[in-house]
Amino acid sequence: MAPDDLRRHVATLASDIGERHIGRRAALYAAEAYIAGAWRDMEYDVRRQTYEARGVPSSNLEIEIPGTARDAPLVLVGAHYDTVPGTPGADDNASGVAALIELARRLRDARPLRTLRLVAFVNEEPPFFYFGEMGSTIYARAARARGERIRVMLSLEMLGCYDDRRGSQRYPPLLRYFYPDRGNFIAFVSNLQSMRELRQAVRAFRSSSDFAVESLASPAFVPGVSWSDQLSFWRQGFRALMVTDTAFYRYPHYHQPTDTTEKLDYDRMAKVVTGLAGCIAALVS
């Protein structure tokens, strides 16, 4: 996985396009077009799920690598491409989108047993987050209505910040006694119902990478555990988990105007994405 490819995607989304949400719909649509174009260049068939959010047409984007066992539950990997107002969103969440694009490149020649679906979600951030018209909520509801079987959903939420300094990693109360105080690992996080899938994903990641990884299965009310698109899938009864650099527990520029392209560690991010490619390949085998 080339760090420069990840840097290029993040720079386009965060530096060239900038903050992207329904209040800046031209930028939101530019980000949508960029992702769709990158996937089309890889010869994927890009499908749109369009709905109106506060009167603004908004689209989830989806591509698929069909599995050979059509009756097997699929694996879904997603990342949101919108930002909160006032931030260019380099780590949140251009980093997750960059990983999603490059995972599509890395896995496009795979012949998996299970279908692999990659989805770029719109409208994850406020004012839609948690109770609003999140793109992932629209998507997960439709998947449930179709009777789709999803083995596990992985939400890629901020993958670019790593810090070797002592004390650079913070946690919710009590967890600091059980986890490292340096923010130089990637975290896999799930609710209690998805614990088995969490363990499978972490085991698959470790078999593909020597990059440091930590995991947590926790009640969803712990601050940060449910704060991404996996929440939408939990609410529909699907197993899901989040892959993250832990956001505001590590990254001081979370939801700030200073969340800019040069803040990210692309070399370590590339190692994480390489590990994720191996992890996902194992989950769909």
pLDDT tens-place string over residues 160-213: 999 999 999 999 988 888 999 999 999 999 999 999 999 999 999 999 999 999
CATH code (residue 107): 3.40.630.10
Q: What is the mean pLDDT of residues 67-83?
A: 96
Q: H or E stretch including 153?
A: strand 150-157
Worst-scoring range by mean pLDDT, 67-71, 183-187, 188-192, 272-276?
67-71
Are 140 and 230 in contact, with CB atoms under 8 Å apart?
Answer: no
- In whole angstroms, how far apart are CA 160 and each of 45, 186, 197, 253, 279? 28, 9, 24, 12, 18
Beta bridge partner(s), residue 74: 150
Nearest to 78 by CA among 244, 265, 237, 223: 244
If you search the block for the tokens 């900038």, which residue do you land on? Answer: 18
The residue among 166 and 221 whose pLDDT is bigger is: 166
What's the token pair of residue 94?
């251009």
For residues 39 and 35, give the distance between their C-alpha atoms in angstroms, rounded to a whole number. Answer: 6
Q: What is the mean pLDDT of residues 128-154?
A: 96
Say what the pLDDT of residue 1 is. Answer: 66
State how many domains the chain has.
1
What's the token pair of residue 273?
């994405």
- In whole angstroms, how far apart are CA 238 and each of 7, 58, 122? 32, 24, 20
Q: Which domain holds residue 209?
A: 3-283
**Residues near 138 by Cβ (< 8 Å), separated by ≥ 6?**
49, 51, 60
State yes or no: pLDDT of 223 exceeds 90.
no
State yes or no: pLDDT of 224 exceeds 90.
no
State yes or no: pLDDT of 132 exceeds 90.
no
For residues 194 and 226, give the distance between their C-alpha atoms in angstroms, rounded to a whole number. Answer: 12
If you search the block for the tokens 């060239």, which residue do you land on? Answer: 16
Say what the pLDDT of residue 23 is. Answer: 97
- Give the pairing of strands 186-190 and 150-157: unpaired
Are 275 and 104 in contact, with CB atoms under 8 Å apart?
Answer: no
